[in-house]
Amino acid sequence: MRKPFPPKHGPKTPLHRIKRAEKPQPASLSGDRPKALAHTPDPGNDLIHGIHAAVAAISNPQRRIVKLWATENGFARLKEDGASPAIVPEIVHPRILDHLLTGQDAVHQGVVLEAVPLKQPRLDQVARDGLIVLLDQVTDPHNVGAILRSCAAFGVKALVTTARHAPNETGVFFKAASGAYEHVPVCRVTNLSAAMEELRGYGFRLVGLDSEAPISLEEADKSLPLALVLGAEGKGLREKTRATCDAVARLDMPGAIKSLNVSIAAAISLYALTH
């Protein structure tokens, strides 16, 4: 009887005991997971991100900065733009900033800061010698931020919006405003029509913007003090707001489309009113 041949490679190891080689993890997944923040932002404070917005906030003597997080590149850009924060920044990985701004769809550019909110004026404290802008239920923070940026560019004295049906001062708003929030007061009122009547009592002329208006903005009385009233996209000015205006004017446009995004319309209108 023949003896069985010995196995060529020794006894077989059961499959469940074979140790598989571990797959190497990329650095972004293995060592750079967002860690727990040592400092949790106060929900009542402003959380500002983006280079321009952060530089403006740091440079504003009225601002009290609570905390500054930055990547190495982000902090270098702050210094290049002349910002000199009074507090030492916490240098972090970009993913920490992503984690900090979860849910805000944010492009932080490597900088996030926490600051105490600015004290804003009441309507009776707004300057009465120039141009102001009123918003009638404009709710998109990107649009409101962009409008505020145009207000800063054209020397507008204040932006007036409602307490309800208007965006809060979020990171998205600050980013869109690109630092303008540090230069233009934002006044919130309970009732826009009542606020318009109050402004009329202070000598303001109220001009609403509407694509179907009977006169062009060029034909409107531009004497100061003047309040430009803008409505939400789609709905435009509400009936009572429109009726409270001293005049309603349109932007004359030669092309096929006669209406614009409200932030673009605001910028063009402010240019027309200041030149």
Burial label, 62 (beta-carbon count in 10 A; 0-12, 13-18, 19+):
exposed
Whether the pLDDT of residue 142 is over 60: the answer is yes
- The pLDDT, as a whole number, for residue 26 is 33
DSSP conformational letter for 44: T
In the three-class reduction of DSSP (H, G, I as helix; E, B as strand; rest coil), residue 112 is classed as strand
CATH 2.60.120 fits 42-115, yes or no: no
* Region of poorest pLDDT, from 120-124, 167-171, 182-186, 248-252: 167-171
**Residue with tokens 């141009």, as numbered in its chain:** 131
pLDDT digits (tens, 9 = 90+) for 191-241: 999 999 999 999 999 999 998 899 999 999 999 999 999 998 778 899 999
Percent of the residues in the chain that have a pLDDT greater than 70, as a whole number: 84
- The pLDDT, as a whole number, for residue 199 is 98
**What is the arithmetic mean of pLDDT over 252-261?**
86
Task: Please report which confidence band the pLDDT of residue 1 belongs to, taking 50, 70 and 90 as the band edges.
Answer: low
CATH 3.40.1280.10 fits 123-252+259-274, yes or no: yes
228: which strand partners? 133, 207
Task: Please report which confidence band the pLDDT of residue 28 belongs to, taking 50, 70 and 90 as the band edges.
Answer: very low
* Region of poorest pLDDT, from 36-45, 86-95, 143-152, 154-163: 36-45
Go through 123-152 and write b for each residue having 16 or more CB atoms within 10 A of its CB, e for each that does not. beebeeeebbbbbbbbebbbbbbbbbbbbb
Judge if pTM exceeds 0.75: yes
Residue ranges per structural domain of the chain = 42-115, 123-252+259-274
